[in-house]
Chains A and B, each alone.
Chain A
Amino acid sequence: MNDPDAQVYPYVVAALPPDEAADFQTHLAECAQCRAEVKELREVTAQLSQSVATEPPPALRDAVLAAIARTPQPPLSNAQSRPDDVSTASPRRDREVTAEPTTATVVSLHRSRSGRLPALLAAAAVLAALALGGWAFQARQEAQQTAQEVTANTQRLTELLSASDVRVVSGQVTTTGGTGTVVMSPSRKRAVFVSTALPELPEGKIYEAWTTTDREPVPAAIFSAGEAKTAVSLPAAVIDAQSVGVTVEPAGGSPAPTSKPIFTVRVPRA
């Protein structure tokens, strides 16, 4: 009943269940006729979408452009594949890449042919540390460890570390004696917390980050130990806060701290 040629139609309207879609993609890789049909039908479904065109809110445009501005494109050789079949079906030709002369180190690293993210992040961390004239060595190490765990957060961290006004501050995690690090950039209006020293919490508990000014601590983020080992995004308010702290809270987080902080750092001024 799953005659491949009959699967083309439900496939292009995304109506195949995942297992059948996978089977069909395998078939596509070896069937030029089906590939051609998919290609043509995709132009039809694109028109179907035009038939329900709707003006998006203007703020979405700003949000999208801001999002891509902080999203690095992968090096071309590693570029994400087509959304589906089409790339596996037809491996693309190598694209010629003109290497730009090196002016800014971070830029050329980013666009280098190897372009591996961990290496990039490590290099960015080194640069950041140098630029800061020796902010805690540990801060850099933390960042390098973090680089091993490549996630979407890592890219944000990379961006942050490559900001000209990056500030990095580390402090001790009291429960383990390890280090936690806050990285922030006023120009990027971003801050992240990284630490590999946070222990797993028992069921029903979660870490919560806080910012403090003159008043009570304000919740900044909740996260698990696993997330902390990549990078936890903190609100830009961190940059203007006096300090950042982390407590252990009941699952779901609390509006105000209910335990002593296991980590605090003062936010450095420019």
Chain B
Amino acid sequence: MATMTTLPVRRYHQRLPWSLPWQRDAHGTVGGMRQHATRHELAEVMARVAAGEQAAFAHFYDATSRSVFGIVLRVLRDRAQAEEVTQEVYVEAWRAAGSFDPLLGSPSAWLNTIAHRRAVDRVRSAERSVARDQRHFEAAETLHGADTADLVVAADEGQRIRAAVEGLPEAQQTALRLAYFEGRTYREVAEFLEVPLGTVKTRIRDALQRLKKQLGGQPDERS
């Protein structure tokens, strides 16, 4: 395969830094920028990935895997399945890298869409009624406190984002958690909460609009 990795994509080629300052150090971090690659840097990495560079893909993985694994695990609540789906996500990203277009969004948003969709597909296809009932119980237990397990796991990362989510009115927060983090359709959310469909949609909309205002639309922008 090593010989298959040399096709440059001219549109990016001329301004590509062929050696990025991202070297894994002893702590497994990448130049101290792990998970905090700027959007611009990631877009450049994506161009190299699209040209078939496996080393660039390793950088891409290092910069994004915690977020991908985190959301997949959160939706599936099963480590073995989450590992499997995470791998599928990256294989899809590798294959589809050539169709990534930086004008249509950041690499992390692109990847997250793949990851979230795959996790949700998996949870919906795999779920039998018993399992779903079980999750209903679990969800009911965790809905009222913040998800402390997640808080611990995520440690310092995403502090600002979690604060924003927790700052949402409880009804909005619940709708968002059930839909985005639990992978339910808005109909299921409505049934579960015993509120009208329109109400669920409104809560999801209000939650997202509010978050957009608070967080802005630039997840990785540091400059």
Complex Cα–Cα for A25 and B70 (A): 27
Complex Cα–Cα for A10 and B180 (A): 9
- B112 is an interface residue with CB less than 8 A from chain A: yes
Complex Cα–Cα for A17 and B11 (A): 38
A22 smallest CB distance to B (angstroms) = 14
Instruction: List A10-34 residues whose CB lies under 8 Å from chain B.
Output: 10, 12-17
- Pair B176/A13 contact, Cβ less than 8 Å: yes
How big is chain A's contact interface, by range? 35 or more
- Pair B112/A17 contact, Cβ less than 8 Å: no
User: Interface with B: A90-98, A138-146, A200-208, A221-229, which one?
Assistant: A90-98
- Pair B180/A48 contact, Cβ less than 8 Å: yes
With a 10 A CB-CB cut-off, give which of B69, B104, B120, B157 has the most chain A CB atoms.
Answer: B104
- Pair A56/B83 contact, Cβ less than 8 Å: yes
Point out the residue from A13, A15, A41, A69 that lies within 8 Å of B1, measured CB to CB.
A69
- A270 is an interface residue with CB less than 8 A from chain B: no
Point out the residue from A43, A56, A92, A111 that lies within 8 Å of B219, measured CB to CB.
A43
Complex Cα–Cα for A6 and B9 (A): 39
User: Interface with B: A73-81, A190-198, A233-241, which one?
Assistant: A73-81
- Pair B3/A104 contact, Cβ less than 8 Å: yes
Given A53-B67, A98-B7, A79-B99 contact (CB < 8 Å): yes
- Pair A46/B112 contact, Cβ less than 8 Å: yes
User: Interface with B: A59-67, A121-129, A212-220, A257-265, which one?
Assistant: A59-67
A71 smallest CB distance to B (angstroms) = 6
- Pair A82/B104 contact, Cβ less than 8 Å: yes
B residues in contact with A110, CB < 8 Å: 4
- B204 is an interface residue with CB less than 8 A from chain A: yes
Point out the residue from B65, B99, B100, B218 that lies within 8 Å of A60, measured CB to CB.
B65
Point out the residue from B90, B108, B117, B197 that lies within 8 Å of A46, measured CB to CB.
B108
- Pair B185/A54 contact, Cβ less than 8 Å: no
B residues in contact with A79, CB < 8 Å: 95-99
B residues in contact with A82, CB < 8 Å: 96, 99-101, 104, 110
B residues in contact with A41, CB < 8 Å: 208, 212, 217
- Pair A61/B189 contact, Cβ less than 8 Å: no
Complex Cα–Cα for A76 and B11 (A): 13
- Pair B108/A61 contact, Cβ less than 8 Å: no
Mask, B153-197, CB within 8 Å of A = 1, is 110011001100100000000001001110111110100000001
- A102 is an interface residue with CB less than 8 A from chain B: no
A residues in contact with B218, CB < 8 Å: 43
Given A9-B204, A60-B86, A46-B67 contact (CB < 8 Å): yes
A residues in contact with B66, CB < 8 Å: 53-56
B80 smallest CB distance to A (angstroms) = 10
- B150 is an interface residue with CB less than 8 A from chain A: yes
- B148 is an interface residue with CB less than 8 A from chain A: no
B residues in contact with A151, CB < 8 Å: none
A238 smallest CB distance to B (angstroms) = 21
Complex Cα–Cα for A39 and B180 (A): 17
Residue of chain B at shortest CB distance from A65:
B58
Complex Cα–Cα for A51 and B149 (A): 12
Given A41-B212, A73-B52, A73-B97, A47-B219 contact (CB < 8 Å): yes
Residue of chain A at shortest CB distance from B206:
A9
Among all A-B residue pairs, the 8 with the closest Cβ atoms = A79-B98, A49-B71, A51-B158, A56-B69, A43-B217, A54-B70, A51-B161, A46-B112
16 A–B contacts from the bound complex (CB under 8 Å): A12-B208, A17-B187, A43-B219, A46-B113, A47-B158, A48-B165, A51-B154, A53-B67, A53-B158, A56-B68, A56-B83, A76-B9, A92-B99, A92-B101, A96-B10, A107-B4
Given contacts A8-B205, A43-B109, A104-B3, 10 further A-B contacts (CB under 8 A): A39-B104, A45-B180, A49-B68, A51-B157, A52-B153, A52-B154, A53-B35, A60-B86, A61-B58, A73-B95
